[in-house]
Structure 1
């Protein structure tokens, strides 16, 4: 069907915490084709007895991903929590597909976004989402959400497993997610994959009467590929929800000495810029980075700009951050 083939992001590989040699060569080859996951039947066909399987589950060498589906235990303690969630969800995807008939479903919605390596902030990863290839009814089956939908060749890609494209997964997810999470995903998809306007129009028409389609239309319409991170996307939504003017993203500034920098958000009518987590964005939090950032901010202020900084903690007090931005708009020392 003209399906594109790509490698999945986050495919489990040998690494810290893996129990070297605990999977024999035959089973390792099988698991390697399935995201590190294997079934009880495959383990037994590779030479393991039922007792050996139980022993490995009991002592932690293997872990149960879902009923009858196992994998070597991974040590993810060094990963940030969002990567732990992605890794666990991708393993769950492979476990689900390994328990279903080949070709009966494609991975879709936020599960497809996980395979594409896109941000999963605010999305429910408790269940794997698939779309049935047949016309059978959908619903929740054995902890897996089965969706129905017409799939054209343009909607499909092979990311180690059959999945919907990032663009379709974006729209699918936006129909089932809150507006804020849908915007985070949509910004990331448009940034990473570009906007195929014709294909996007087709998808929006196809999804016009789906449950959640009003949220999808709003989120996709609000999405901006210039938003460079989850934090920036969340901040855009926050400013929108508090009726702040729509800013220019990634505006660049220069002075007599040359290029000063590119800022996250610029409000030209108020000579105000808003930066999200700028200390991290511009080279870490060491003393040298702090000095560079302070110098950059001084140069921006010398241009007559008010600078408002925000961090992750500001999302716990959104009204306070919105007030800080409004106060910057009204400071008398800004340029006319």
Structure 2
């Protein structure tokens, strides 16, 4: 029998390993061989025999951090044998939600029945939320998703300070995935009414919108609101029988504002997934994106394309939008 045969949710305890004859020296050997990964005291992640990639290794640093965080959170919940549920960023990750700058080096759980808190290396055990836990699709206990969404904006992010934007990013993702409702978010906000940072979270979550499809779109929507623009998310435009969706359209003006994140192309997708390799898919996506923009411009729209760096300098963002508005006005008067 192998560790993978006894692993539950991808993790296994030292006691289970010993039950199949894998003692301390054998555990250390398997860790060196990249077959086991230490998570929390007495718990390990397990690599399936013959797998091309370990379940804790992602395609990039963020995916790797997310995968490892999910495994640590799962092991932490399992180690308490029903007495805690994943909370904060850990619950969001386990439900497949969106995060931006949460500190994934720290796992969060909340006690199920009492109000004691505790800090340990790499983990925080919070008091009970007073709400019954729910289960992820894989069966791991978490606090209600709405509670987790609010919580992520109340604890320090990677820069050491709470960020209400983290709650907005998580809320947009949860609404898009139909993991929460607007009323559930409102109840969760009210339940945290005594927290010193709840006012900032409350203000931002008032604009939560499941039509935003990425972290970048959530941040862009917030920036546009801050600059005073009124926009329509995911505007559908039909050109010669083809349907396109724009990230944002200025209200009452033929200007489309789009977020250009890495590898992100909004298009009438047909055939991208069938391309034979990543390089071919990328070339197909770029060509389709260019064709899409040409067709929409011929239909009378102007584009303001926004990059990640523009979100850090609102004067640049405003200038791009205003140039697109000017082009639209000149087109109307030509």
Q: How does 1:123-202 map to 2 (within 5 A)?
A: 123-153=102-132, 156-158=134-136, 159-176=138-155, 177-193=162-178, 195-202=180-187
Q: Which structure would you say has the larger RCO, counting Cα contacts within 8 Å and 6 or more residues apart?
A: 1
How far 1:106 sits from its partner (Å)?
1.0
Change (3 A) 1:322 1:161: same
Name the CA distance, whole Å, in 2 between partners of 1:87 and 1:254. Answer: 39
CA contact (8 A) 1:119 1:184 kept: yes
Change (3 A) 1:313 1:205: closer
1:298 equivalent in structure 2: 294
Moved more, 123-132 or 246-255: 246-255
1:252 equivalent in structure 2: 236
1:234 aligns with 2:226: no
Secondary structure of 1:224's match? coil
Name the CA distance, whole Å, in 1 between partners of 2:236 and 2:78. Answer: 49
Alignment gaps of 5+ in structure 2? 48-53, 156-161, 273-280
TM norm structure 1: 0.80
Name the CA distance, whole Å, in 2 between partners of 1:294 and 1:144. Answer: 46
Name the CA distance, whole Å, in 2 between partners of 1:72 and 1:194. Answer: 29
Q: How does 1:1-336 map to 2 (within 5 A)?
A: 24-25=1-2, 27-31=3-7, 33=8, 35-72=9-46, 74=54, 79-100=59-80, 102-153=81-132, 156-158=134-136, 159-176=138-155, 177-193=162-178, 195-241=180-226, 243-255=227-239, 257-259=240-242, 261-277=244-260, 280-282=265-267, 283=269, 286=282, 288-315=284-311, 317-331=313-327, 332-335=329-332
Secondary structure of 1:308's match? strand
State the Cα RMSD in Å.
2.7
Name the CA distance, whole Å, in 2 between partners of 1:209 and 1:196. Answer: 22
Alignment gaps of 5+ in structure 1? 1-23
Name the CA distance, whole Å, in 2 between partners of 1:139 and 1:214. Answer: 25
CA contact (8 A) 2:99 2:215 kept: no
Name the CA distance, whole Å, in 2 between partners of 1:329 and 1:67. Answer: 58
After superposition, the C-alpha distances for 1:217-275 in whole angstroms (9 at most, x for unaligned) are 1221121111112221121123234x1413111112235x3445221100134421112
CA contact (8 A) 1:122 1:181 kept: yes
Change (3 A) 1:315 1:204: closer
